[in-house]
């Protein structure tokens, strides 16, 4: 290339609209443009994700003392509960799983006697999910659990977004490394919720079956009755009810009456005590208004009163959104994904993968770029930053989620924002099930 040609090229726009000009670019420039097409849109979201994965790596590589982390918990933290329950299941100690005192004793005997207090808090159907862990060592099981969660998430992400780079962006969102670091089941619940909502218009029975499987963690399904009633999704409702009935019956046949009496007895009693009196990370990890009140040192009854308007607002917004026939499914589903965490007093930062999916919709569709991107970034960062904010008595998570929920509900149905430098019609869009936005 001549010097004059090179000077002319340097004066060309970063993303030239002329195909001939793009073809004439030298290979390094073409490579940089290819990277920009992937990373340029939503660069801030990519950066927040990178920071989250770096924190995860530092947790496993630096912040550890043998098989314990720097706080004295097992590496993978809450995974110790799932792993212990899986082993106790095959040892025939099912009743002890739902007795917090005995469960902790088994946990310490199987892993380390220095472990701080943990307890099993899930209903008996969750034992189907953790049963394979009874055949693994601890770190082998943690690796299997983490990979299985991400693999379960992939079909849901494929349904949710059409563009590959958006799928990758959601898979690496901060909620995913948070879920892995805490050894939790948030990827499984996200896979069920996202897939079920994506399929509800085109395959209502399958959608109901997937949503019904959330019985193993019912607080994530708290708003599903509202949307099926508001949208008159009777086939989805009956399919979900049928799956719930079958799962409950199978869990009773497999694990016995003692499992259920233990769950409704010592397990829920301990759960209630923790919600009222729990301290430290247990409080900091919950994005609800109730736990915001607890972080501010309010009494449990006052914190519960603070939760009421948030729950009612979430119910009202979801009802309004799903009773309308003119709204794209993408917007209706995104509202539910955010509103779930506004409504539920007991959800955790590792559950927020669906909220990150909704943040992508907010960013892509908001006709006010700074507002959509700003709210999307706040939701995107919540799984990580809320821990520190709640610790210093600045629990903004319920306010951020509520603002995002309201903004999604008020977006015009036609709005799809293109990226700067990308011509209308060429920009990546989120179109679940191939439906037009």
pLDDT the model gives residue 42: 72
Query: If pLDDT is split at 50, 70 and 90, which confidence band does 431 have?
Result: very low
Q: What percent of the chain has pLDDT over 70?
A: 85
- Among residues 348, 251, 213, the alpha carbon closest in space to that of 290 is found at 348
Give pLDDT tens digits for 318-370: 999 999 888 899 999 999 999 999 999 989 999 999 999 999 999 988 888 88
Measured distance CA(178)–CA(352) in Å, rounded: 9
Instruction: Return the HEC string of 342-366.
Output: HHCCCCCHHHCHHHHHHHHHHHHHC
The pTM score is 0.86
- Backbone torsions φ then ψ of 131, nearest 5 degrees: -55, -45
With beta carbons less than 8 A apart as the criterion, state whether 232 and 142 touch.
no
Measured distance CA(118)–CA(105) in Å, rounded: 10
One DSSP character per residue, 135-175 reads GS-HHHHHHHHHHHHHHHHHHHHHHH-SSHHHHHHHHTSTH
Q: From the centroid of its chain, how far is CA 414?
A: 26
User: ∠ CA 223-224-227 to the nearest 5 degrees?
Assistant: 90
For residue 69, pLDDT beyond 50: yes
Measured distance CA(312)–CA(305) in Å, rounded: 11
One DSSP character per residue, 76-101 reads TTTHHHHHHHHHHHHTT-HHHHT-HH
Neighbouring residues of 365: CB distance < 8 A, sequence distance ≥ 6: 330, 331, 372, 411, 415, 416, 417, 430, 437
Letter string b/e over residues 394-409, b meaning 16 or more CB atoms within 10 A of that residue's CB: ebbbbebbbbbbbbbb
pLDDT the model gives residue 424: 32
The residue written with tokens 């497999």 in the block is 254
With beta carbons less than 8 A apart as the criterion, state whether 331 and 401 touch.
no
Half-sphere exposure of 241 (CA within 13 A, CB side): 8
Q: How far is CA 343 from CA 106, 214, 220, 314, 436, in A?
A: 35, 16, 10, 6, 29
**Tokens of residue 183, six digits:** 């050894």
Tell me which DSSP letter residue 25 carries. Answer: S
Helices and strands of the chain, counted as H and E runs: 23, 2
| Residue 414 vs residue 255, higher pLDDT | 255
Report helix, strand or coil for 64.
strand
Give pLDDT tens digits for 230-277: 999 999 999 999 999 999 999 999 999 999 999 999 999 998 888 888
CB atoms within 10 A of CB 116: 11
For residue 38, pLDDT beyond 90: no
CB atoms within 10 A of CB 98: 29
Out of 45-49, 67-71, 408-412, 418-422, which region has the weakest mean confidence (pLDDT)?
418-422
For residue 14, pLDDT beyond 90: no
């Amino acid at each position: 290339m001549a010097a004059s040609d090179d000077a002319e090229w340097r004066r060309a726009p970063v993303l030239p609209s002329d195909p001939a000009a793009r073809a004439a670019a030298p290979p390094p420039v073409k490579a940089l443009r290819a990277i920009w097409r992937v990373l340029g849109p939503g660069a801030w979201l990519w950066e927040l994700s990178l920071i989250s994965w770096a924190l995860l790596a530092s947790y496993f590589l630096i912040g550890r003392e043998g098989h314990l982390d720097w706080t004295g918990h097992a590496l993978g933290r809450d995974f110790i509960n799932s792993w212990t329950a899986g082993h106790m299941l095959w040892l025939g100690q099912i009743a002890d799983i739902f007795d917090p005192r005995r469960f902790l004793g088994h946990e310490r005997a199987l892993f380390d006697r220095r472990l701080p207090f943990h307890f099993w808090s899930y209903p008996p159907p969750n034992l189907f999910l953790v049963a394979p862990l009874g055949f693994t060592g601890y770190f082998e099981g943690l690796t299997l659990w983490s990979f299985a969660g991400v693999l379960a998430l992939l079909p849901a992400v494929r349904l949710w977004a059409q563009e590959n780079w958006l799928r990758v962006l959601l898979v690496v969102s901060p909620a995913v490394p948070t879920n892995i670091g805490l050894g939790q089941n948030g990827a499984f619940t996200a896979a069920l919720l996202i897939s079920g909502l994506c399929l509800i218009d085109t395959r209502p029975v399958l959608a109901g079956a997937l949503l019904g499987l959330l019985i193993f963690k019912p607080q994530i399904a708290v708003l599903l009755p509202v949307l099926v009633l508001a949208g008159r999704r009777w086939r989805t409702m009956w399919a979900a009810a049928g799956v719930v009935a079958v799962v409950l019956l199978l869990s009773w046949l497999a694990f016995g009456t003692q499992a259920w009496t233990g769950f409704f007895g010592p397990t829920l009693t301990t759960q209630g005590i923790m919600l009222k009196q729990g301290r430290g990370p247990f409080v900091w990890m919950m994005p609800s208004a109730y736990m915001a009140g607890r972080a501010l040192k309010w009494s449990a009854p006052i914190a519960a009163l603070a939760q009421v308007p948030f729950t009612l607002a979430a119910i009202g917004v979801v009802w309004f959104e799903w009773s309308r026939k003119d709204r794209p499914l993408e917007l209706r589903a995104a509202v539910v994904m955010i509103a779930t965490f506004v409504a539920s007093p007991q959800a955790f930062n590792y559950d927020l993968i669906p909220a990150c999916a909704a943040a992508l919709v907010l960013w892509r569709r908001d006709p006010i770029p700074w507002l959509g991107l700003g709210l999307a970034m706040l939701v995107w960062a919540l799984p990580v930053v809320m821990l520190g904010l709640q610790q210093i008595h600045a629990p903004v998570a319920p306010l951020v989620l509520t603002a995002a929920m309201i903004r999604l509900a008020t977006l015009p149905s036609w709005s799809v924002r293109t990226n700067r430098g990308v011509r209308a019609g060429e920009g990546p869009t989120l179109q679940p099930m191939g439906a037009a936005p």
